[in-house]
Every structure is written in C-alpha cells, then in structure tokens.
Amino acid sequence: MYDHSWWSVIAYDKSKPRPAVNKAVLKRIFAYAWPYRYSVLIVLVTIVSIALLDLVPPLLYRDLIDNVIPQRNYARLNLVALGMIAIPVISGLISVVQRYYSAKAGEGIIYDLRQEMYEHLQRMGLRFFTNTKSGDIISRFTSDVVGAQGAITGTLPNIVTNTVVLVSTLAVMLTIEWRLTLLSVAVVPLFLIPARRVAGILRGIRRNAMEYNAEMSNIVNETLTINGALLVKTFGSGSRERAHFAEVNRKTADVGRRRAQVGQWFFMGLGISGAIGTAIVYYAGGLMALNGTITVGTIVAFVAYLFRLYGPISALSNVQVEFVQSMVSFERVFEYLDQPVEVQEREDAVKLDNVAGRVHFENVTFGYGEAAAKAEMSDATDEGDDGDGAGNGAEPTPRSVLGRLWAVDDVTFTVEPGQLVALVGPSGAGKTTITYLLPRLYDPTGGSITIDGHDLRDVELESLAGQIGMVTQETYLFHDSVLANLRYARPEATQAEIEDACRAAYIYDRIMAFPEGFATIVGERGYRMSGGEKQRLAIARVILKNPRIMVMDEATSHLDSQSEAYIQAALAPLMEGRTSFVIAHRLSTVLAADSILVMDKGRLVEQGTHAELLARGGLYTKLYETQFQRDTEPATA
C-alpha cells in the first residue's frame, strides 16, 4: 500500500534529480514554431491589446466612486456605463481572433511534429520495430502528442498572457499608489518558492504516468486484437492477463492520485498566499484612507488591480508546473525523432530500373543483437589500427565469440537471372535472415549485396522495393476490402488487371462467391478468410506488383492439401522468368531449384543441385533423409 500523505509524495520523488527546463528542447520547439511566426505575432498583438483594455475597468470604478457620484455627473455616468459594456465586448471579439490564430499555429506545429515522427518511423529499419512495443509507439502518437499540443495551444499562450497582464498591472499600480504596490509585491516569494519544487516532483510523476499509460496501451494492443485474443482464449490465460492489466492500471491510478494530491496542496498554498497579500493591502489601504492619504475609489481600484496581479502570479506559478510537465511530452516525442535510421538512403542513390535479377552476396555477415553491433564496431576499429591488431588497445573479438553473434556469417553466393534458389537448413540457420537482407529490411554488418552489380546501399529504397516481391508464411491483410488489399500493391491498377491477377492466383472464383465480391471486408488481419484464401490473396497482390525478384518463405506447410495445391499452382507462373528465393519446406520445391543453399548456424555449408548435394553425403543428405523424404512416404493409418 502507498502512503498518500503530502510528505510521502515529496519523499517518493526525492531521489530524482531536480529537473530544469531543457534549453535544447525549447530551441527545437521554437524551430517548429518558426513557419507560423505571423500567426504567433498576431496572437501576441491580441494578447497585449486585451491586457491593456482590461486595465481600464478599475479606473472606471475609481472615477465612478471619486468623481461621478460625488459630483452627481449624469453625462459622465453614461460614459462610464458605456465603457463598462464596450470594453468586455471589444475584448471578447479580440479574444476570438486570438483563439483562431493560436489554434492555427498550435495545430500546425503539432501536425508537423506528428507527421515528422510518422515519416521518421516509416524510415526506421525492422530492428526498431522488433525491439519496440507497439503500445509504446501508439502512446507517443496519442498521449505524448496531446500533451505537447496542450503546451503549444494552452500553456505557452498562458505564459505570454499572464506575463503581459502582470507587467502592465504593476505599471498602473505603481502610478496609483507605489507604497501599496510594494506591499503587494512583498508576498510574491510565497508564490514562487514552492513552484520549482512542485514542478520537479510533478515532472517525475508525469513521466511515470506516461510510461504506465504506454504499458497499458501495449497490453490492450497485444491481448485485445484478434491474434492476442485468440491466444489468451486458447491458453485460458484470461485471469492472468486481467491481473496483469489490473497491476499496471493500479500503478497508473496511484500516479494520478499522487499528481492530484501534489496539485491540491500547491493550489492551496497559492490561495493562502493571495489571501495574505490581499489582507495586507486592505489593512494598509484602510489605514491610509482613514488618515486621508488616499481616496476610497483608489482603494477599490487598487484591490481590483490586486486580483489582476495575484491571478497572473498564481497562473505563472502553476504554468511553470504545467510547462515542465509538458516538456516531458516533447522529450518523449523527440526521443523517437532522434532514433538513428539504421537503413539510410544515400543522396546520390541509383534508381533500380530494368532489372535482370542477378544477385550476389559477398562475405555477408549480419547479427540481430546489440552485442553483434558492438562487435562490429570493435572490429571496424581493429581494421583501422596501425598494425598491432589491437586498435584502441582492446583485444580483437575472438572468432569463436563472433560466430555466436551472427545470424549470417561470411556468406558468399551468386544467383543468375531467372534462377530458382532453395534455402534449406535447420531452424535458426539464417535462411529468413538472408531473405530479409535482400530487400534491405536490414543492412549487413559486413560484406556487400548487389543486384545487377549495384550495391544495395547505393540504390533508392523505393525502387529496390519495387523490384522485390515477398510472400511469407504470415500473410498480413489490412482491415479493409479485398479490393483495397489488392490495390495496395499497385494503386493505379485497373479492375481488369486485378481480376487477371486473382485468376492467376486461383482466388478469383472464391472472391466472387462472397456476397459482396471484391468489396468484402477481410476483417482484422484477414481473419474472416481461411489460411489458404489469405495466401492466394497475397500471391495475387504480388502478381499485381509484378516484381523481377521473388522472395518466398513457403507458406504451404500448415495448409490442407487442396489449399496447398492451389498455392503451388499459383506460384509456378509467378516464379517463371523471375529470380526466386524460396525457403523450402517441400521436396517439390527442392527438386525444382536450380541451386540449393544449405545453411547451418548462419554459415553457407553446402551449395549445389539436389543430385550433387545427395552425392556428397553432408548436411543436406541428413535433412533430406529426416525431412524431405517424408514427402514421398505414403501416409500410414
């Protein structure tokens, strides 16, 4: 149980360093605001105009009490009354203009920020998405961006508004009665002293709240989508997942309670400070009025200005707290924007056109983990030393250690245009990794990959993607219509081209059997369709794309024989004349291959045709005897 007393809240975050507003973050925010500088300028003008207009009513009160009533001046009374009506109307109209341009600038800045983050994450390599929870990504686009939006459209305008009101009010108060003004200002430290301390506490609480919210989003995303819900139900783990969500939910609630409690104590302190200052002014002003030093109208006007003084001071104290919290939102967004893009496109990248399909891997090495990346950096340093083999003094990474880090280890092979290559090997041998390296989902940590002599790192990414088609075991379909999922490959495709692709993939008749035909919604991740239907739809999508190089992690091993027959029939024309890489699970694919690459522990251990590899009696022979030969054995009862 948590102790929710005031002191326990202070002590909870006492170990955290007291944060200051990050100047680098502010500089970046202002850079985003620069394109909207004219809207910001209009907002500033309206803020000053409203602040100056709001200074007039207390002067009208003083004139009413000290001049109009004693002199019984009816004409002046009419002017005072008209002014009391006109000033709020004019001020309100200016506020409408202010709000419009404030929203225009604020929403524009947030649009740019959100768009930049989306485009940046689109460029991130696959490693980022395998290492990052989807719930955290969603949280950055929702709660964090909303928090940043609040700072732009609310907190920052409030700072400017209250600063202008504070300065202008002080100036007028000094002209009315400088002694009372000094007494009023004497209590200002009571507003400011706790603000910095509370801001630091709430900043830590805000970051914790965002992290817990991101974790909740991830739990919801993983357990309440179709795949997650199916897994939870089939394993009967609903109670465990509910308990997990309850734990994170409780932490989020506790953080919210701590934030509310700190805020309540803070506002209470501000209220007491304002009451003390008001009492001092009333007391001192009363004494001065009794002595005849000032008039009653002056006291009334001064007290009206006093609220305009303490109000902005309280607001600025609270704004400091809100601003520091909102900076956490910007920091979390900038954390993603500052993530390095692993797969970079060079400025002078070559557009890949008229591809024949010759693929060459030259001493390619790749590792998924952080240790592999560190080893790569270490080796790069060693290669650049002066010959002592130690680089910066560190021992070179032993080959025996590196071998355990690489998913692909020093692989070299060549595939000629139009050839079908089968990748075989035990689980974890590096077969899928090779197919990921070809479309540059990752960059190799060593060696090079070329297509028609072009190093992939010198090629435009979009043109490379346009030349490679992938059919994987896990077919991903958007929660949209059949037609929309097909058009994803080529938005400009005609209906006739789409229908031809579906016929080639043996899925056209099945689509037309649906009540809504091509307008049929496939459901979340395509779950309204069978596995075979999804695969054939994916193949139709690739046929529509018409790539020169095909990459297939054969998806027939988990399907019924009829679906498998359909897909095999669809794949045959798809691979014809194209360079094709197939992760083989069936003997038919192996026998049809022009070349077979046998992988083991990341290394290419054998290469050749089916007959050549069988004659060698190596790993391929063992795989054939234990796995592929089962395809030819009759089923037993």
Q: Looking at residue 222, what is its pLDDT?
A: 67
Q: Looking at residue 233, what is its pLDDT?
A: 61
Same domain, yes or no, for 99 and 229? yes
Would residue 504 count as lying in a domain? no
The residue behind tokens 């000032």 is 294
Phi, psi of 151 (to 5 degrees): -65, -40
Where b means 16+ CB within 10 Å and e means fewer, 602-619 reads bbbebbbebeebeeeeeb
Question: Is the confidence at residue 21, as pLDDT, over 70?
Answer: no
Burial of 626 (0-12, 13-18, 19+ CB in 10 A): exposed
Would residue 392 count as lying in a domain? no
Would residue 500 count as lying in a domain? no
Would residue 348 count as lying in a domain? no
At position 181, the amino acid (one-letter code) is: T
Structural tokens at position 157: 């305008």
Are 534 and 493 a contacting pair, CB within 8 Å? Answer: no
Residue 425 sits in a domain whose CATH number is 3.40.50.300
Please give the torsion angle defined by the CA atoms of residues 566, 570, 576 and 582, in that order, rounded to the nearest 10 degrees. Answer: -70
Same domain, yes or no, for 288 and 363? no
Phi, psi of 409 (to 5 degrees): -125, 100
Same domain, yes or no, for 363 and 454? yes
Would residue 309 count as lying in a domain? yes
Give the number of residues written for the chain.
637
Q: Looking at residue 421, what is its pLDDT?
A: 92
Q: Where are the beta strands (DSSP E) in 70-199?
A: none
Residue 50 sits in a domain whose CATH number is 1.20.1560.10
Same domain, yes or no, for 108 and 206? yes
Same domain, yes or no, for 289 and 422? no
Q: ∠ CA 156-95-268 to the nearest 5 degrees?
A: 55
3-state DSSP percent of the chain in helix, strand and coil, to 5: 65, 10, 25
The answer to whether the predicted template modeling score (pTM) of the entire model surpasses 0.85 is no
At residue 420, the 3 state secondary structure works out as strand
Which strands, in side-by-side order, build the sheet including 408-415?
A: 408-415, 359-366, 446-451, 454-455
pLDDT band of residue 202 (cuts 50, 70, 90) is low
Would residue 505 count as lying in a domain? no
Would residue 397 count as lying in a domain? no
Structural tokens at position 511: 């689509």
Burial of 443 (0-12, 13-18, 19+ CB in 10 A): middle
Which of residues 199 and 614 earns the better pLDDT score?
A: 614
Q: Looking at residue 376, what is its pLDDT?
A: 46
Same domain, yes or no, for 331 and 414? no
Would residue 376 count as lying in a domain? no
Are 604 and 412 a contacting pair, CB within 8 Å? Answer: yes
Among 188-202, 501-515, 560-574, name the most confident range. 501-515
Are 297 and 64 a contacting pair, CB within 8 Å? Answer: yes
Same domain, yes or no, for 410 and 329? no
pLDDT band of residue 29 (cuts 50, 70, 90) is confident
Using CA atoms, how far residue 158 sits from 153, 164, 185, 261, 323, in Å, is 9, 10, 21, 23, 10
Of 471, 473, 468, which Cα lies nearest the Cα of 359? 468
The residue behind tokens 């058009």 is 487
The total of other beta-carbon atoms located within 10 Å of residue 546's CB is 16
Where b means 16+ CB within 10 Å and e means fewer, 373-396 reads eebbebbeebeeeeeeeebeeeeb
Of 464, 268, 434, which Cα lies nearest the Cα of 360? 434
Same domain, yes or no, for 216 and 246? yes
Same domain, yes or no, for 135 and 221? yes
Q: What is the pLDDT of residues 322-362, one digit of tens each?
A: 676 677 778 888 888 888 888 888 888 999 888 889 999 99
Same domain, yes or no, for 307 and 158? yes
- Segments forming the whole domain that contains residue 441: 359-367+406-475+545-632
In the chain, how many domains are there? 2
Are 248 and 212 a contacting pair, CB within 8 Å? Answer: yes
Q: Looking at residue 13, what is its pLDDT?
A: 40
At position 232, the amino acid (one-letter code) is: V
Same domain, yes or no, for 410 and 305? no
Same domain, yes or no, for 439 and 311? no
